[in-house]
Chain A
């Protein structure tokens, strides 16, 4: 037996062993060297700086070329709820978010957590000790992305994110954390704002100009301060005055994702021009044409018609939200679309403008806070900024003095064709020339015009202030979640949360109800913490 072992088995096992001895390379074998892993990613701080394009391109999602993700993240939600735009396409058999049947409630949530919260939180862990100033823009982008989420849903997992103890936090806690994070970002940048080439190369917004990041952090802080000004005026005043003291956007400043680092494609251009899935909203038509606002022609094209047929309407034609559209797009395909000169594929994606900041300050001044000017001065400065941005400075003087133009009645030319009744009278008689008795409505209405096409922020401010007064949806298909004649207050949480994260979800819904007496539960009709009269 021994000789058998010696003669035959041992050599075989040894031969076999020759193959099987070298499992030491298994770890290397298992890696795909075309990807960046925790080790290779340490070089030049790639695991920190590498994620900035993803962060800045996911707030207003254009990180891949999919377009449809953005369409359901933003376009068919905030852009419609704000009155900015409306689709001419009968999505899901004329029962969709534009009718308050909230079928696209998943995407803002999943895109935000996957593309903003997760990478931003991973940067948090790595870079805090290493480069405080690099941590600052990550914090700003995180707050910029995640405040949109909490403003859409209400309570979200945030404060203890990344730990097993995580649960839904009330919006108040989330906002408190936002302010802390923005303060930390500002402090880090005040301590050191020397440019770093490794950051400049990946900075979509400012190509490495840390001082602009500081301005953005302060402007964002001001935006959030005004958001909570009704529910917590004292804190709001403190944060707003601090932010203005730090230094917010001034003439010409802007936060936009441009072509600096690598090309971006503006998803609105695709949805509007190529897919034809979005048109001017009826409210935009009513207010811009009523005001004889020259920005109407900047933002939109005039209505068209079939190739050999007549133009369906002279001038601008907006689509009303929540209507039943004909099978196919019918005449609605010829309504005013986004002006391709204003938004085309290569247009930078604007996240915040100096005009908005002047309007925020105007409102702060209106509240009697120290905003570095009077409400009227800042209101007019906001309009000037907007006109200047669109090269309309020549016309701003007349515009500011216009005390007669009011929003126009909305007449849907297709009513005659299809036998529908979508036309509606104007909701407001607000005008342009500063009028102290209607100052808030004027400020917010003008901010609304100036912020176009950033519908998410416009929708939030509409919910907080009720301005501008937009048309109610024609058909409310929310099954009673949103009371008839009322407006949508939030999106429902994704269904997955009720299954996979039920305990925390319930805490979230309780917080939602606790934070606003009018909130009834996880429906589109529950107003958020800051949405109080």
Chain B
């Protein structure tokens, strides 16, 4: 059915094309004036209509046109030409190179287009081609390795999962360190997706907003790395901005594109399991469940269709895409539909321009993988008892209870340690989760050009997301955490549901001024903006109790006395801002910006804050006589201050009502003196272009200090009726460099090789924490407390955001390992003195992107690497403790001893003593260094195939293999893309490699 509909739409679209072709046919060739080279892709449009065509590879075109009509030839980088159609049957057109247009234009903050040369800060862009060839359902994954200084990690939640993007390091100890996403100049919402915060019982990955976007709709992505680039977006842009420019209709073009992408996905680098011994070390005589049995081959289909058409004054673009994925974890599916439409209309005198765009996204995930211990099939799979055979576990995961008339979980194996476990196949079938997202984004803009110098623009957008997540845990699921019904003494099941909605409204008005006075060029703007974000949550949970009606998952089935919980927050920021750029003779540019925000989250009467920036660029090649090989030499620097407000509701004393309907006294006092967080950054950079663009270098050095960070600190006990309070304090520094080198080492005839190398290093350092009540300075502050688990994420003076503490061996005063009466070592405490402190941030990131073109062939390859940084595998530690790992089997088989720091231990006893949550966790730390083949694709483009203008068929692979990987898992898969639980692998979905085919057809 789906396919039929598609065929219908395609033929409909084709028909409109044929309908237009009814007048007399003219033909011609378009060439470049001077060289005589044919120009492919030139727009040929009949003036005053939306009818037109484009030239083919040989610069030739054919078009039906009435006599007396005028043809408009336009091509980027060339001066447009108009030709009256009289009696000519063939046209030989030559176009002049437009010197002005050739200058590279960059889309900067608020969608302002500026010449690349004049920028005082660093940006880097990625083109559509790079994003859609080896397509990933989350388009951000395609940025890996392509942008210097961009660190990317993925959540282990399969298709539709979040990514964590970090530009120039983690900046905030309590807030977000993610960049702001901006689509066509207006900020996107959806930063509020839920992220895991605990280890064993984490919340789910709610899926970030950017993952919803259809990659096919994107024309280009421009990454504004530092704060300077984004001063005009205000606080949300403190972590940099990812500017997305979407595809639009073009004047004189009518284009239909269809692309179909199929990828097969395979899990790898997951822990191996042994099938030889039970937990007591006795040999087993059956095949036990292993991780190899668990994962399946995943598939992802992405089909998309777009249509764009444009006349002189009005253009539109419309697209539809469908993503359909089966995960590598059995039963996991994901389905997404994207609808997108945008239009641009200009008045006849070109003074008034109106844009409108609409996006609708609906997606549905089933059994989306998440990390953690509770109700996680991956956890239950890796820890499943060796005493049960795979056949039994998988085929008899449930038994029919005749008395209760329900299926009950079978082989919910009690395990050796304090950890409870379930049957993974039961969880897949009887503790399922489902998440549904509906999102729309509407935006409109109106701009009016008063004259050459002045223009005004107003924009508004709404970005609204509704999420519903539900988990239905059938009776006998999770017997430890879902209690029994007080009446029957039986488990009736558990029910969990979240309805989350997020609505962001944004509007701005900007007056632009452009003027050239003698040698000076002024670009200035002044404007105002309002951003209002509302979040609401309606949460139904049976928590740790049994629902009332067996396997009836509805609010009315909540245990006696339990109530749904609601929360609603709103944050509004109103701003005025101004910016001016003064250029002198295209030699020197001076940028000054200022912004004042008023935020609803700050204390009334003290809710206004101002922040400025200043930047300077010198274009050396325009100032001095440089050797001819240097086509661009530029140095630049900027200084920026950026303010950031806080979360809603901190300044008010509010007492919540809990799931039992009882009022719970707030443990924290209202933050009467809340101040905005302030980031101050300086940046220096240089750009050098040699040999007419064959070699290009861009280098940046930066330092950012963020002060007035928000901490929740303990009060000195009893000084008030609250245990905690908020404190603005601290200083987090990020310093580093980014280096990007692009070159075209080969450009001979049909063969071109272009390559980009991106290198970056960021050092994150906590210079200062806060001062306690009693005047002493805090030495550390806990971000994630492992509780029973020997892991802690800590902010430490002198350490980094992302520092993790793990347990060392308990040691004697002379440093030797303490061996107890049973002949085993034990773990020391997670204390400032005893713990092993590791930084989970990489020291160095590198990416190498290559494109090789020969005739119709295109080869793309991206290699990226991270160097340094450590990560903890609690997965392995728990598996060793449970006796399911290969390491355990080896220990059983080892009749000798293991030697650690000169002391001999019994292998099994040693493993038991050092593994598990309370084990010597530092033994499970791994270097994160890895180098991998991130992307490889080879494609061939056929031109003029029948009615089609071109067809490209590519074979693509993503994340294919590692050249080097120190850890037994992929360190890029993170448990949370939020602030906490970093540097930790805890039964996350393993990494996957995918290979597939991509077909792209342009009509």
Chain A interface residues (CB < 8 Å from chain B): 4, 7-9, 11-13, 15-17, 19-20, 22-23, 25-27, 29-38, 41, 46-47, 50-51, 53-54, 57, 63-67, 89, 91-93, 95, 110, 113-115, 117-119, 121-122, 125, 157-158, 160-164, 166, 262-263, 265, 270, 273-275, 327-328, 340, 344-346, 496-497, 499-504
Contact = CB atoms under 8 A, between A and B. Distances in A.
Interface string B544-574: 1100000000000001110001111111101
Nearest to A157: B718
B848 to A, nearest CB: 46
A239 B413 CA distance: 56
B659 interface: yes
A83 B665 CA distance: 34
B486 A265 contact: yes
Contact of B545 (A20, A65, A117, A502): A65
Contacts of A38: 652-653
B716 A501 contact: yes
17 contacts: A8-B454, A9-B511, A12-B456, A12-B526, A20-B576, A30-B570, A30-B652, A32-B648, A65-B660, A91-B418, A162-B718, A166-B717, A262-B662, A327-B416, A340-B489, A501-B716, A503-B774
A47 B657 CA distance: 12
A158 B526 CA distance: 58
B661 A93 contact: no
What 9 pairs between A and B have smallest CB-CB spacing?
A16-B528, A263-B561, A166-B718, A157-B718, A50-B663, A19-B530, A12-B511, A119-B665, A35-B654
Contacts of B568: 32-34
Contacts of B560: 263
A15 B530 contact: no
Interface string B463-480: 000000000000000011
Interface stretch (B75-83, B429-437, B600-608): B600-608
B663 A16 contact: no
B543 interface: yes
Contact of A118 (B510, B527, B604, B665): B665
B83 to A, nearest CB: 39
A32 B483 contact: no
A495 to B, nearest CB: 8
For A30, A35, A57, the residue with the greatest tally of chain B CB atoms inside 10 Å of its CB is A30
A504 B572 contact: no
Contacts of A115: 665
A166 B722 CA distance: 13
A262 B479 contact: no
A118 B648 contact: no
Contacts of B450: 7-8
Contact of B657 (A35, A65, A503, A504): A35
B886 interface: no
B530 A20 contact: yes
Interface in B718-762: 718-723
Interface in B648-677: 648-649, 651-665, 667
Nearest to B535: A32
Interface in B691-722: 714, 716-722
B403 interface: no
Given A54-B664, A121-B721, A20 B574 contact: yes
Nearest to A37: B654
B528 A17 contact: yes
Contacts of A91: 418
Given A31-B654, A91-B418, 16 more contacts: A4-B454, A7-B450, A11-B511, A20-B574, A20-B575, A22-B574, A26-B598, A38-B653, A53-B663, A92-B918, A110-B723, A114-B665, A344-B486, A500-B716, A500-B717, A500-B774
Given A34-B657, A37-B654, A500-B773, A9 B526 contact: yes
Nearest to A158: B718
Contacts of B567: 32, 34-35
Given A34-B657, A114-B723, A274-B480, A67 B418 contact: no
B510 A12 contact: yes
Contact of A26 (B484, B604, B717, B720): B604
Nearest to B569: A32
B166 to A, nearest CB: 29
A118 B572 contact: no
B574 A23 contact: yes
B630 to A, nearest CB: 40
Contacts of B664: 54, 63
Contact of A63 (B489, B530, B649, B662): B662
B912 A327 contact: yes
A113 B529 CA distance: 45
A496 B484 CA distance: 36
A345 B545 CA distance: 10
Interface string B620-655: 000000000000000000000000000011011111
B600 A15 contact: no
Nearest to A505: B717
Given A23-B607, A53-B662, A328-B416, A37 B458 contact: no
Contacts of A33: 568
A203 to B, nearest CB: 13
B774 A114 contact: no
B826 interface: yes
Contacts of B383: none
B714 A23 contact: no
B35 interface: no
A502 B484 CA distance: 45
B483 A26 contact: no
B287 interface: no
Contacts of A497: 717
B772 interface: yes
B511 A36 contact: no
B509 interface: yes
B588 interface: no
A263 B483 CA distance: 14
B776 interface: yes
B507 interface: yes
A54 B574 CA distance: 40
B474 to A, nearest CB: 17
A265 B575 contact: no
Contacts of A344: 486, 489
Contacts of A13: 526, 528, 576
Nearest to A62: B660
A144 to B, nearest CB: 17
B451 to A, nearest CB: 10
A15 B575 contact: no
A501 B722 CA distance: 15
Given A15-B509, A26-B572, A166-B719, A37 B918 contact: no
A34 B480 CA distance: 31
Contacts of A328: 416
Contacts of B418: 89, 91
A164 B450 CA distance: 63
Given A23-B598, A93-B826, A496-B714, A35 B656 contact: yes
A93 to B, nearest CB: 6
A500 B511 contact: no
A64 B483 CA distance: 14
Contacts of B719: 162-164, 166
B714 A26 contact: no
A31 B545 contact: no
For A20, A51, A91, A502, the residue with the greatest tally of chain B CB atoms inside 10 Å of its CB is A20
Contacts of B528: 12-13, 15-17, 19-20
A262 B661 contact: yes
Contacts of B507: 19
Contacts of B510: 12
Contacts of A54: 662-665
For B530, B659, B717, the residue with the greatest tally of chain A CB atoms inside 10 Å of its CB is B717
B527 A51 contact: no
B352 to A, nearest CB: 16
A263 B559 CA distance: 9
A331 B610 CA distance: 69
